[in-house]
Structure 1
């Protein structure tokens, strides 16, 4: 998650071409060596988090303004470049910055869901207690990275799952737990609140849950946030890549126009 955030945040603006990818490869090897070592030290982990964030944070970048585009959707299509036709790279090649929420947030979502089940479906209270301990454990592991990201110049700390639930609640119930459920709506809201109004919502063709909590909420989100620029795209071996590309380009065209308008407003 840290590497993903660092790479996607810095790569579109790098002054020295390829430096972000080179640093990514170096850190990838360091992380693999650390995780496959005989002993995993928490203090070493904390040190690595700080160093990693600092190293990417100090890469010289241009001050060009580019539209930021969030990528949300079904978990496999969202994180596997081969499944989404290398969407992040496509966005970068089209002059945008890709913003992808963390993978571990999905685990927090799975834990958090137990609270609804206990409160509304008669599940044992112990399930919610254990799940909340699970969230706390994840937060403890994440803490060094979160602090490093919060103290950096270019990165933002990860979202709190409780805040995502709060943001999603006016639009969908937290009882929507099939697939990505309310979490998908929460991620879209998080992006909009984080100044990323452009969103590509991706899912495999015929993914019913995502069509409800993804496509189904777009209209309501646009009503609440008129500047939201969201496009829903199906990925499928039989889907036309040209059609996907055209829709993404149309969304980016709107994003560029909105960015230009915002800049003109600032200069007035």
Structure 2
């Protein structure tokens, strides 16, 4: 926790260009800053205890990232003795551009728009390449993100990439990636009556459970009129299932395979 707060403070000053800060970190390049952060966290000793059950949080973009919108779901997960896993924000922006190519090929939309969008995706991928390589050098302690094209390949095995309203196929892809990365316990958070999420989130749960019997997914509607007690009870029930599954399957071999695949992506 202390290490997190240390780097949180440094990063805030770094990006706000605080001229009063005299720490050496304030004069680093962005890549040097990334290297120092990953190096510090990589040096944290592991206690040797078994890993806590991991619970992923996906869903509508606001409800996923805004604690007040999801009734502080991350705090709830951690207070129940689990490790929270939240996929990053940059992938969502890449998803928004990625589908232009699919539309140009299958729906006859502007090819120029597809070319521009492809360039935008490649730029965003390049912006995190240094971070991905640094994460790949931690020998599995931290895993680099996968390319958006890889998420698209996963999703189209379950649904069409033409599902691009709201979070669209990207939501399904996030759940697939979490499950294959050893995080079968997932909260799919959505505003009440959010149609895209009901189709590509809640609507995909049955198929995901068919393909991955260990999948432990719960869809939670968040709305000012929704019962918070009901939300908490459903999350706690999912977490209790996660602990039972953890006793039966302490480790997933697929996790190690997926980790090596991510390392390969990062080094390419």
Same fold (TM over 0.5): yes
Q: How many residues align?
A: 245
- How large is the RMSD of aligned CA atoms in angstroms? 2.1
Please point out which of 37, 43, 46 is paired with 1:52.
37
Counterpart in 2 of 1:159? 146
Q: Distance in 2 between matches of 1:38 and 1:81?
A: 27
Report the Cα offset of residue 126 of structure 1: 1.4
Report the Cα offset of residue 33 of structure 1: 2.2
Counterpart in 2 of 1:137? 123
Counterpart in 2 of 1:127? 113
Please point out which of 64, 71, 80 is paired with 2:57.
71
Q: Distance in 1 between matches of 2:192 and 2:64?
A: 13
Q: Distance in 2 between matches of 1:236 and 1:217?
A: 22
Report the Cα offset of residue 38 of structure 1: 8.7
Counterpart in 2 of 1:235? 222
Q: Distance in 2 between matches of 1:140 and 1:183?
A: 20
Name the CA shift for 1:87/1:256 in 2 (closer, same or farther; >3 Å): same
- Output aligned runs, 1:16-95, within 5 Å: 20=1, 22-37=2-17, 44-62=29-47, 63-95=49-81
SS in 2 for 1:47: helix
TM-score (norm 1): 0.86
Report the Cα offset of residue 187 of structure 1: 0.3
SS in 2 for 1:263: coil
List 4+ stretches of structure 1 deviating above 4 A.
Answer: none
Please point out which of 232, 256, 259 is paired with 1:245.
232
SS in 1 for 2:218: strand
Name the CA shift for 1:132/1:245 in 2 (closer, same or farther; >3 Å): same
Q: Distance in 2 between matches of 1:175 and 1:42?
A: 45
SS in 1 for 2:84: strand
Report the Cα offset of residue 200 of structure 1: 0.6
Q: Identify unmatched segments of 5+ residues in structure 1.
A: 1-19
SS in 1 for 2:249: helix
Counterpart in 2 of 1:11? none
